[in-house]
Chain A
Amino acid sequence: KQEVTQIPAALSVPEGENLVLNCSFTDSAIYNLQWFRQDPGKGLTSLLLIQSSQREQTSGRLNASLDKSSGRSTLYIAASQPGDSATYLCAAHNYGQNFVFGPGTRLSVLP
Chain B
Amino acid sequence: DTGVSQDPRHKITKRGQNVTFRCDPISEHNRLYWYRQTLGQGPEFLTYFQNEAQLEKSRLLSDRFSAERPKGSFSTLEIQRTEQGDSAMYLCASRGEQAPYEQYFGPGTRLTVT
Contact = CB atoms under 8 A, between A and B. Distances in A.
Interface string A21-41: 000000000011010100001
Interface residues of B, number: 26
Nearest to B58: A98
B15 interface: no
Contact of B106 (A4, A43, A103): A43
Given A4-B42, A103-B41, A46 B108 contact: no
Interface residues of A, number: 23
B100 A49 contact: yes
A64 interface: no
B43 interface: yes
Interface string A75-106: 00000000000000101010000111111100
Interface of B: 4, 6, 33, 35, 40-45, 48, 56, 89, 91, 93, 99-108, 110
A11 B107 CA distance: 25
B44 A101 contact: yes
**Which residue among B4, B33, B41 has the maximum number of chain A CB atoms within 10 Å of its CB?**
B41
A45 interface: yes
Contact of B107 (A42, A49, A101): A42
A103 B42 contact: yes
Contact of B102 (A46, A102, A104): A46
